[in-house]
Structure 1
């Protein structure tokens, strides 16, 4: 296990402002046995050119181009099919990993005989400045907890394909990360988080401006489409989801003075 290959999946779309820094945060890992599988979702800016410049000097980086814009779910699934590693990890093109992220997670999996783990993460703004906010998930997360709130930052999750196989990713454009981790927790019932902060999540201006109605709609779709619930049951679950988001999840968000 200590030398097992880790496949890192990065979907990109018009990510020229951030992709170089994201890739460098992987290249700076203390654990070096990894491959990056980048799938570009028909970018119209210089994203592909920047990736090609970097991968010309690092054979661990692979790139695949989608002919038309299909969403992150399709892009991630394309990368997943090509992945060769025992472990699968995810990083979005605008997020960053701390240098010991992979090593600490792999050690934690090995030492505790686990097949999946995740961690806390700090929030930064578009320019990479700390926002003074840390998201700390439950250290022992149950399926029932995850059912009503996605406590797992997608940039922190890592799982063992020897246990799960390759877990297919939904092609739904929104919330497929939550559905992915629900699939994991449905099998193992509980998951343990590395009790450290190992990544930086970039809060984008366009994500802040997303309407509350759209957020409700996308989360409702998880209960209606992924779980296949009837309208009344899905609405009931959504009420409990909103309660969890507003009354419980804030306790897992802490103010910090962090530096990058």
Structure 2
């Protein structure tokens, strides 16, 4: 059996309330040349019941793995190791794809191939709709040329398997900034081609750890590591994030 063009990976833990929308968004893709891997961290709620209910609908394309992991990036790395697709995408269990996300990525990838611009090492990335309580806030797009000052949203990315095979995966020492670390490392130290795709690929609900003060502090340290921030700027961002966390703590009293 030929390998699929795409591998889509969703990592999850106790995601019963949100994962159905994610599953539905993958199931409804207009492009069907994909496999879908669920990497579950041994959920204790009804997450796996929801996922297994969808298994017949994917007609052999959905593969479920459930075991304890050492955090989200460890789970992502496990999924990447199991992937057989040429292009690998990661969509979170509380995010979801646009219905034509894979179709638009395929068109962009085939366009690179037909123009002889495709490299073995390529990252295609697109636009993300940001929402709060299901209300659209903005459409976000960060060009790779200013990566670091801004952040390419990893659910909009499709990374060629060769990038992971040749240059490595996510650094599990991070709690929320390993995706930023990965993209900056790949951009700064490899020949990988970054190819923008000007379509909405994923939808993101605001909140979560990366939006917290801790996430801001990790991201600041990563940016300093790759020379985007000076140490002075890094320390200012870290100090500012601690003040914001303190204010939020006081408001909860």
Structure 2 counterparts to residues 190-201 of structure 1, below 5 A = 191-201=194-204
- In 2, the alpha carbon distance for the partners of 1:178 and 1:208 equals 11
- In 1, the alpha carbon distance for the partners of 2:25 and 2:87 equals 18
Q: CA deviation at 1:239?
A: 6.0
Counterpart in the other structure of 2:37 = 37
Structure 2 counterparts to residues 64-75 of structure 1, below 5 A = 64-67=65-68, 69-75=69-75
Residues 150 and 178, structure 1, Cα contact 8 Å, conserved in 2: no
Structure 2 counterparts to residues 1-260 of structure 1, below 5 A = 4-58=4-58, 59-67=60-68, 69-112=69-112, 113-114=117-118, 115-126=122-133, 129-138=134-143, 141-142=144-145, 145-146=146-147, 148-162=148-162, 165=165, 167-171=168-172, 172-186=174-188, 187-188=190-191, 191-204=194-207, 206-207=208-209, 210=212, 212=213, 214-222=214-222, 227=225, 235-236=231-232, 238=234
Residues 123 and 192, structure 2, Cα contact 8 Å, conserved in 1: no
Q: CA deviation at 1:209?
A: 7.5
Cα RMSD between the aligned structures?
2.8
- In 1, the alpha carbon distance for the partners of 2:215 and 2:19 equals 26
- In 2, the alpha carbon distance for the partners of 1:241 and 1:103 equals 39
**1:155 counterpart SS class:** helix
Residues 221 and 234, structure 2, Cα contact 8 Å, conserved in 1: no
- In 1, the alpha carbon distance for the partners of 2:71 and 2:11 equals 9
- In 2, the alpha carbon distance for the partners of 1:65 and 1:106 equals 29
Alpha-carbon spacing, 1:161–1:237, altered in 2? closer, same or farther (3 Å): farther
Alpha-carbon spacing, 1:105–1:240, altered in 2? closer, same or farther (3 Å): farther
Q: How many residues align?
A: 224
- In 2, the alpha carbon distance for the partners of 1:209 and 1:188 equals 30
Residues 163 and 192, structure 2, Cα contact 8 Å, conserved in 1: no
**2:156 counterpart SS class:** coil
Higher mean C-alpha deviation, range 86-95 or range 52-61: 52-61
Residues 104 and 199, structure 2, Cα contact 8 Å, conserved in 1: no
TM-score of the two chains, using structure 2 as the length reference? 0.77
- In 1, the alpha carbon distance for the partners of 2:162 and 2:47 equals 33
Alpha-carbon spacing, 1:190–1:14, altered in 2? closer, same or farther (3 Å): same
TM-score of the two chains, using structure 1 as the length reference? 0.75
Residues 89 and 157, structure 1, Cα contact 8 Å, conserved in 2: yes
Q: CA deviation at 1:237?
A: 6.0
Q: CA deviation at 1:215?
A: 3.0
